[in-house]
Amino acid sequence: MRVINVVGARPNFMKIAPIMREMQKHGGFDPVLLHTGQHYDDAMSQVFFEDLKIPKPDINLGVGSGTHAQQTAKIMVEFEKILADMRPDLVLVVGDVNSTLACSVVAAKMLVPVAHVEAGLRSFDRTMPEEINRLVTDALSTLLFTTSRDANENLLREGHTPEQIYFVGNVMIDTLLAFAKQAEHSDVLERLHLDSKRYAVLTLHRPGNVDNPSTLSRILNALENLQRHIPIVFPAHPRTSDRFRQFGLSERVASMRNMKVIEPLGYLDFIKLTAHAKLVLTDSGGLQEETTVLGIPCLTLRDNTERPITITEGTNTLVGTNPAVIVSEALKVLNGHGKHGRTPELWDGRAAERIIEILARWNPSQLSTAQAA
Ligand code: UD1
């Protein structure tokens, strides 16, 4: 079975790694790895291929940055040529980035079945570009692989058939569990002069948080206060660093003596940094899941999450962007009242194995009938 596996942006790389590995191991697949080039800085892309031993992409569309329409359109134009040329049996997409959406639309229109890994997550907030990407990708996918039972329910409610939906677990956690030991060898704590459990980690890149100067400034208010209680390490996404410059906030950020703003980290360094943190503050989706498995309290600087299981079962708490709430919730954690949580069902390191088993048994004609029905 020839499968084009699509990646484009940072959170895709840890999801595709175990899938590529299992496909290669199985023998019944001809896996092609396609990178759209949505992320292109070495620190946002190349380092993950090295850390996670992902094979070099067979194809790189090299689309780069742009507005949503520009980026999506560029990917679509280039991907259409690749599909026409390669005629794969399946296109496999992961997550919810623009590359996921663009390649799903092209494949569906060229009648190539799409498998979506991490299907069915919903924040019910259409101001998030990822929510649009998730809805469209799922609507067009033939096979839907989910990470939690709530995702199955969302998909059924939207009219998908049970035959299309497979609850398989979480491929990003496959990677976390596979590399957690190796990550322990990272010397990132020494490099940054940090002591285990005596610092907080911050990541921030959602357009809703960083593209609006007043929201970003409110978050800085909270950080100004919090860094008086605990050192904060902030590997800054290029988008966020740009916004600090653009909004004239760079000096204010630099004046926080107990907050270290650093370049984005590679996978192994970042996992080590997270695993030894006292607390994580983030607006990322994936990090809510990783902290849940690592047992590190996570405060999510958003009003909603598409990953509710990280709240009901994991270590995650939604705190929004109100500085008073962020600080009081953070202080609770520092005072020993952080959530402990437990690992959700099937987040056991074997999700990719399950996906490959299902794909190996998959009979496209059966599914198109199920879909037509
Ligand atoms: C994308 C995903 C988001 C994911 C995030 C992880 C979409 C809609 N969003 O957001 O879901 O959580 O990746 O990082 O797909 N840039 C660089 N170098 C790079 C990549 C980006 O400098 O290698 C800068 C550029 O200024 C670019 C900006 O970051 O315009 C935004 O990049 P983009 O890929 O559009 O979206 P992200 O914010 O990274």
Per the rule left: phi > 0, alpha: psi between -120 and 50, beta: everything else, 27 is left
Inside any domain, residue 85: yes
Same domain, 69 and 127: yes
Q: Looking at residue 366, what is its pLDDT?
A: 58
Distance (angstroms) between ligand 1 centre and the Cα of 37 equals 11
Same domain, 239 and 102: no
Same domain, 124 and 269: no
Question: H helices of 110-200, where?
Answer: 129-140, 149-157, 171-183, 188-191
pLDDT averaged over consecutive 10-residue blocks of the chain (373 residues)? Answer: 98 98 97 98 98 98 98 98 98 98 98 98 97 98 98 98 98 98 98 98 98 97 98 98 98 98 98 98 98 98 98 98 98 96 98 98 66 44
Same domain, 132 and 262: no
Provide the CATH number for the domain around residue 282: 3.40.50.2000
**DSSP class of residue 42?**
G
Domain that holds residue 126: 2-169+348-372
Distance (angstroms) between ligand 1 centre and the Cα of 9 equals 7
Provide the β-strand partners of residue 74: none
Q: Looking at residue 240, what is its pLDDT?
A: 98
Side by side, which strands form the sheet with 30-35?
59-60, 30-35, 2-7, 90-94, 114-117, 143-146, 165-167
Same domain, 162 and 190: no
Distance (angstroms) between ligand 1 centre and the Cα of 188 equals 24
Same domain, 196 and 120: no
Inside any domain, residue 52: yes
Same domain, 198 and 314: yes
Ligand 1 pocket test target in 45, 65, 172, 209 with most atoms within 8 Å of CB: 65
Same domain, 6 and 101: yes
Residue located nearest, by CA, to atom 3 of ligand 1 = 97
Same domain, 362 and 287: no
Site residues for ligand 1, CB cut-off 6 Å? 9-11, 38-41, 44, 65, 71, 96-98, 129-130, 205, 237-239, 242
Same domain, 87 and 17: yes
Count of structural domains, the chain = 2
**DSSP class of residue 335?**
I
Same domain, 143 and 207: no
Q: pTM, whole model, 2 decimals?
A: 0.97
Distance separating alpha carbons of residues 27 and 146, to the nearest angstrom: 24
Residue located nearest, by CA, to atom 12 of ligand 1 = 284
Q: Looking at residue 363, what is its pLDDT?
A: 82
Residue located nearest, by CA, to atom 33 of ligand 1 = 65
Q: Looking at residue 104, what is its pLDDT?
A: 98
Inside any domain, residue 176: no
**Catalytic (active site) residue 205:** yes
Of the listed 39, 116, 160, 205, which one is catalytic? 205
Residue located nearest, by CA, to atom 22 of ligand 1 = 238
